[in-house]
Amino acid sequence: MQTGDLLTINDLVVEYKTRRGTARGIDGVSLSLPCHTTLGIAGESGCGKSTLGRAIIRLVPYPGRITNGSIEFELDRDVNVPDKDPVRAGRYNLLDLNKDQMRALRGEQIAYIFQDPMTSLNPMLNIRKHYREVLKAHNPRIEDEVVTKRTEEVLDALGISPERMNDYPHQFSGGMRQRVMIGLGLVLRPRLLIADEPTTSLDVIVEAQILQEMARLKRDFDLTMILITHNLGVLAETADMIAIVYAGRVVELGNTITIFEDPLHPYTKALLDSVPDVRKPDRKLAWIPGAPPELTHPIPGCMFNPRCSHAMDICREIQPPLQPDKNGSQVACYLYQEAH
């Protein structure tokens, strides 16, 4: 792994212990994320996109647990831990930090934006108080005037007039609420923003606005972003790199243009073919037969082999490793690996 990356994930495994057995929600994912890039994570429902995002902030929902791997994160400044010693700048494995240190890092260095802005704001607090809570959690001695000033700045940057900061969440529209949420994520000037389907519950016009806003903010705030979505169109707009995830594994990783122009993995191809295109109404919409395998009973070899039209014998026996291809992407498929 080259240094200089903001985030390096190495062989991460997240397991869900359920009554029907142990399911590997994330199965040996390795990624590295250079500063100031946007990584899109795409895949169908239940493939482990959100689990991956949650694992980075170490908030995998119960009964999930991170059982293996490392998540290295570059701190460029000291982070205050209330009532404790600060975390010095440097490179850390997030899995080694204790609870208080991790809590101090959330929001301050890594921000997370949820899917549903309608319920992600506390109905009993007005917007200013939301910002105050966030700022106070990381700096208990912060003055109210400073809070007001920071809130004004952030709201202004997001195109919400600062006079509205004494309003309550129910007085805002969905798009504005999502902006308020994004602002909450950005008010502490984090370096990494993880957006978990930030535009899914919004209509297309607002979606476009928010995406543009986020692209601008990424520039203004020097952000590195992880964008989790099932909407490939959104990724085409915003992401620099795309990781296609299937059944807890990264099957293809490459920069956006290459993925769209020259998809390699059969799953990526199928995924792109299943996106409707307005310009070609005659085209028959492709779909992928079958369903993803049960994660509690993993099949040997490539997870995609039962649904793959190119499946070979080796695909049913040995799991293909993620290897670079000549077009620049990395792909986990035996079709592109010469010697085996």
Contacts with another protein by CB under 8 A lie at 57, 59, 82, 103-108, 111-112, 114, 116, 119-126, 129, 133-134, 136-138, 168, 170, 181, 184-185
- Residues, the chain: 340
Closest contact distance (angstroms) between CB of 322 and another protein is 29
Q: Closer to another protein by CB, 227 or 251: give it.
A: 227
Q: Closer to another protein by CB, 82 or 174: give it.
A: 82
Q: Is the distance from CB of 58 to CB of 8 less than 8 angstroms?
A: no
Q: Closer to another protein by CB, 84 or 310: give it.
A: 84
Q: Closer to another protein by CB, 24 or 132: give it.
A: 132
Q: Give the count of beta carbons closer than 10 Å to the beta carbon of residue 133.
A: 13
Q: Give the count of beta carbons closer than 10 Å to the beta carbon of residue 245.
A: 23
> How many Å apart are CA 195 and CA 223, to the nearest integer?
12
Token digits of residue 97: 């930090």
Q: Closer to another protein by CB, 58 or 269: give it.
A: 58
Closest contact distance (angstroms) between CB of 126 and another protein is 7
Closest contact distance (angstroms) between CB of 127 and another protein is 11
Q: Closer to another protein by CB, 100 or 273: give it.
A: 100
Taking CA atoms, 272 is separated from 205, 213, 239, in Å, by 23, 26, 16
* Residues in CB range of 292: below 8 A, 6 or more apart: 44, 46, 47, 246, 247, 303
Q: Give the count of beta carbons closer than 10 Å to the beta carbon of residue 157.
A: 17
Cis preceding linkage at 162, omega within 30? no
Closest contact distance (angstroms) between CB of 26 and another protein is 19
Q: Closer to another protein by CB, 59 or 257: give it.
A: 59
> How many Å apart are CA 111 and CA 193, to the nearest integer?
5
DSSP character at residue 305: G
Taking CA atoms, 218 is separated from 36, 248, 285, 295, in Å, by 8, 28, 34, 35
Closest contact distance (angstroms) between CB of 204 and another protein is 23
Closest contact distance (angstroms) between CB of 275 and another protein is 28
Token digits of residue 96: 């080694």
> How many Å apart are CA 26 and CA 267, to the nearest integer?
18
Closest contact distance (angstroms) between CB of 271 and another protein is 28
